[in-house]
């Protein structure tokens, strides 16, 4: 069954949500596929708890509908980037544990208590501020400690984690999770994976009795040594391949289509788009679609000399993009499609019909994470599978 979800954000009011007949692009999110992906990963890692990362508006798929669906499926723990996202998750998952990855901004500790959110402590400075707040307010809501084992981004150092560990002898130590972040999990044979897993094993020994978490989507496929007590898949839930170079084990969760607004002839030697970056080498037919980089179709997908263009599906054929992707428009070469089979108003498929989000990302010279999280606000969104 297909559902047009009325509780979409960031559209300010239901009336402002784009309608299918008024907009060029249609983004369909398969909630049943997202649930199936979560259940598959949960089954792979049993009896370890399987959380869900729903930051960046549920990786572009809608934080409320995704969270609601996964909470109903049995997911008890969610990870978000900031307090704004945490509040959106709490609105549809009132009983869930919600961890905030970016930690505590100066002065923000009271907001964690108000929403019953759990900060992920990324530095000793944050820990000191959190301790001061919890001591003054007798708050016992819990927090996670992030230990840096090789990412060299956020997290306390191993030496700092060692110095903090004796506080576990206190009854009110305040930690509900100790975690780290794999830097190269998508490259299974990268030596840093084994180094981080071994180092985090030592941290787990020091923090025995506290649940631990290391594996992200790709980390789950490194095997049981990375599972710990909780896994936290993100991009794999939304259908991207967590095992690059191998067959994608996940179900496709998004489909993106756009209406063709014009089909035009381009003579040999004429150019298309800004900068005259593509020139027709033969008499050509071009289909123009009303989507562009404002909608997440990155400018890097543009055809350029020495670079293959991204492709989309039109009338059952793969058609390369031509010219530069602009803010609101892109063009595709439909010369090889049978004359008369491409018309104004027809739908072209950008993701779907054999083109995955990873395929589109490759054509843009980027990764599925960026494609998913770049989906703009202007699409008509349809939620399927509820």
SS3 78: strand
- Identify whether residues 228 and 277 lie together within a single domain: no
In a domain, 58, yes or no: yes
pLDDT for 310 equals: 87
Give how many domains the chain has, as a whole number: 2
Find the domain containing 116 and state its range. 31-238
- Identify whether residues 226 and 312 lie together within a single domain: no
Which of 39, 207, 238, 274 is catalytic? The answer is: 274
Paired strand residues for 100:
80, 119
- Identify whether residues 44 and 92 lie together within a single domain: yes
Among the candidates 238, 262, 284, a domain finishes at 238
Among the candidates 191, 213, 238, a domain finishes at 238
Q: What is the DSSP string of 301-356?
A: GS-BTTBPPPEEEETTEEEEEES---SS-EEEE-TTSPTTS--TTPEEEEEBTTB-
pLDDT for 8 equals: 45
- Identify whether residues 107 and 226 lie together within a single domain: yes
In a domain, 158, yes or no: yes
CA distance 112 to 6: 28
CA distance 181 to 360: 27
- Identify whether residues 260 and 232 lie together within a single domain: no
CA distance 166 to 168: 5
In a domain, 94, yes or no: yes
- Identify whether residues 193 and 287 lie together within a single domain: no
Annotated active-site residue 257? The verdict is: no
Q: What is the pLDDT of the chain when averaged over all its residues?
A: 91
In a domain, 19, yes or no: no
pLDDT for 18 equals: 61
pLDDT in tens, 154-195: 999 999 999 999 999 887 899 999 999 999 999 999 999 999
Q: Can you tell me the mean pLDDT for 18-31?
A: 81
In a domain, 159, yes or no: yes
Query: Are 146 and 122 spatial neighbours (Cβ–Cβ below 8 Å)?
Result: yes
Query: What would the two tokens of residue 113 be?
Result: 């208590």
SS3 139: coil
In a domain, 48, yes or no: yes
In a domain, 2, yes or no: no
- Identify whether residues 196 and 300 lie together within a single domain: no
Query: What would the two tokens of residue 7 be?
Result: 């509780």
Residue 276, Ramachandran bin (φ over 0: left; ψ between -120 and 50: alpha; else beta): left
- Identify whether residues 155 and 205 lie together within a single domain: yes
- Identify whether residues 336 and 373 lie together within a single domain: yes
Q: Can you tell me the mean pLDDT for 63-88?
A: 97
CA distance 120 to 126: 9
**CATH code of the domain in which 207 resides:** 3.20.20.10
Paired strand residues for 168:
none
pLDDT in tens, 294-331: 999 998 888 666 667 789 999 999 999 999 999 999 99
- Give the β-pairing of 212-213 and 175-179: parallel
pLDDT for 252 equals: 96
Paired strand residues for 259:
347
Paired strand residues for 305:
none
**CATH code of the domain in which 266 resides:** 2.40.37.10
Measured between alpha carbons, how far apart are the two ends of the chain, in Å?
Answer: 6
Host H or E run for residue 25: strand 25-30
H-state helical runs in the chain = 31-45, 55-59, 63-73, 83-92, 109-115, 124-137, 158-164, 191-206, 217-220, 357-364, 368-373
Give the pLDDT band of residue 6 (cuts 50, 70, 90): very low
> Which residues neighbour 110 within 8 Å (Cβ) at sequence distance 6 or greater?
133, 137
- Identify whether residues 289 and 370 lie together within a single domain: yes
Instruction: Give ∠ CA 305-311-313 in degrees, rounded to 5.
Output: 155
Which of 55, 99, 238, 383 is catalytic? The answer is: 55
**CA Rg, the chain, in Å?**
23
Q: Can you tell me the mean pLDDT for 253-272?
A: 96
- Identify whether residues 269 and 335 lie together within a single domain: yes
Q: Can you tell me the mean pLDDT for 217-231?
A: 96
Query: Are 183 and 151 spatial neighbours (Cβ–Cβ below 8 Å)?
Result: yes
Annotated active-site residue 19? The verdict is: no
- Identify whether residues 92 and 192 lie together within a single domain: yes
In a domain, 1, yes or no: no
């Amino acid at each position: 069954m297909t559902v047009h979800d009325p509780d979409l954000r960031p559209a300010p009011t239901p009336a402002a949500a784009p309608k299918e007949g008024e907009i060029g692009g249609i983004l369909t999110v398969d909630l049943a596929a997202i649930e199936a992906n979560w259940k598959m990963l949960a089954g792979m890692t049993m009896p370890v708890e399987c959380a869900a990362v729903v930051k960046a508006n549920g990786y572009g798929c809608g934080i409320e509908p995704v969270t609601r669906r996964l909470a109903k499926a049995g997911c008890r723990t969610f990870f978000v980037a900031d307090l704004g996202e945490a509040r959106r998750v709490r609105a549809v998952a009132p009983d869930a544990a919600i961890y905030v990855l970016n930690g505590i901004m100066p002065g923000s500790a009271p907001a964690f208590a108000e929403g019953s959110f759990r900060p992920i402590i990324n530095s000793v400075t944050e820990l000191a501020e959190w301790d001061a707040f919890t001591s003054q307010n007798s708050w016992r809501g819990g927090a996670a400690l992030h230990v840096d084992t090789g990412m060299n981004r956020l997290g306390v150092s191993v030496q700092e984690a060692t110095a903090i560990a004796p506080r576990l002898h206190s009854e009110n130590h305040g930690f509900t999770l100790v975690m780290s972040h794999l830097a190269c999990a998508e490259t299974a044979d990268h030596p840093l994976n084994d180094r981080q897993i071994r180092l985090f094993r030592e941290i787990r020994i020091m923090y025995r009795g506290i649940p631990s978490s290391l594996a992200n989507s790709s980390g789950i496929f490194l095997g049981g040594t990375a599972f710990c007590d909780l896994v936290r898949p993100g991009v794999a839930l939304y259908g991207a391949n967590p095992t690059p170079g191998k067959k994608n084990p996940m179900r496709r969760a998004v489909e993106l289509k756009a209406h063709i607004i014009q089909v035009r002839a381009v003579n040999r030697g004429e150019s298309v788009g800004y900068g005259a970056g593509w020139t027709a080498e033969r008499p050509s037919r071009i289909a123009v679609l009303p989507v562009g980089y404002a909608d997440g179709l990155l400018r890097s997908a543009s055809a350029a000399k020495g670079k293959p263009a991204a492709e989309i599906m039109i009338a059952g054929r793969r058609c390369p993009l031509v010219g530069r992707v602009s803010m609101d428009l892109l063009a595709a070469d439909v010369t090889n499609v049978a004359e008369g089979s491409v018309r104004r108003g027809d739908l072209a498929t950008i993701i779907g019909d054999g083109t995955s989000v990873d395929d589109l990302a490759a054509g843009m010279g980027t990764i599925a994470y960026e494609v998913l999280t770049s989906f703009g606000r202007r699409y008509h969104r349809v939620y399927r599978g509820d």
